[in-house]
Amino acid sequence: MSHLRLTIGVKVGVAFTILFVTVGGLGGVAINGVSDLNAAAAEIRNNWLPAAQVNGRLIAAMKEHRLATSRILIVTAADAPGRTG
């Protein structure tokens, strides 16, 4: 088995090159992952949040309507003819 006789400078240069390529590759994968995360966040921001806000307003309006209806029924029942007390 033959051994390459390289100087320490060449060995360090090769090591740093391998390290640089590895870190660059990991950075590219990380940027791709952040891009996917940003796309998912944009979908939630643009599609789901407005629908949730409208749903919340609708529920609040239904509660107000039920409260108004119950107040009318209570007043009507108290003013019913023939009721004593």
At 48, the amino acid letter reads W
Query: 1 pLDDT band (50/70/90 cuts)?
Result: very low
Name every residue whose Cβ is closer than 8 Å to that of residue 37 and which is 6 or more positions away in sequence.
none
pLDDT at 27 over 50: yes
pTM: 0.48
CA dist 2 and 8 (Å) reads 18
